[in-house]
């Protein structure tokens, strides 16, 4: 499988007293540039 598009991962951590929130955000952008085709001989 070849994936193309945007993938997003977000992680939130809240402090025990709920005064602080830490966010970790990761985004991945991928696109297919070129696909080579080939044949198998039997």
Asked whether residue 2 carries a pLDDT value surpassing 80, the answer given is: no
The model's pTM is 0.53
Asked, for residue 39, whether it belongs to a domain, the answer is no
Residue count (the chain): 42
Q: How many domains does the chain have?
A: 1
3 lies in which domain range? Answer: 1-31
Q: What is the pLDDT of residues 10-26, one digit of tens each?
A: 999 999 999 999 999 99
Report yes or no on 13 lying in a domain: yes
- Tell me if 3 is assigned to some domain: yes
Task: Report the 3 state secondary structure along the chain.
Answer: CCCCEEEEEEEEEECCCCCCEEEEEEEEEECCCCCCCCCCCC
State residue 26's pLDDT score.
97
User: Nearest Cα to 30, choosing from 8, 6, 2, 1?
Assistant: 6
Cβ-contact 15, 23 below 8 angstroms: no
Comparison of pLDDT for 26 and 36, the residue scoring more: 26
Confidence (pLDDT) at 18: 96
Is 41 within the bounds of a domain?
no
Structure tokens, 16: 């025990």
When pLDDT is averaged across residues 22-39 and rounded to a whole number, the result is: 92
- pLDDT score of 3 more than 90: no
Beta bridge partners of 41: none
């Amino acid at each position: 499988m070849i994936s193309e598009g945007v993938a997003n991962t977000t992680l939130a951590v809240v402090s025990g007293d709920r005064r602080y929130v830490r966010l970790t955000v990761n985004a991945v952008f991928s696109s297919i540039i070129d696909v080579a085709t080939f044949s198998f001989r039997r």
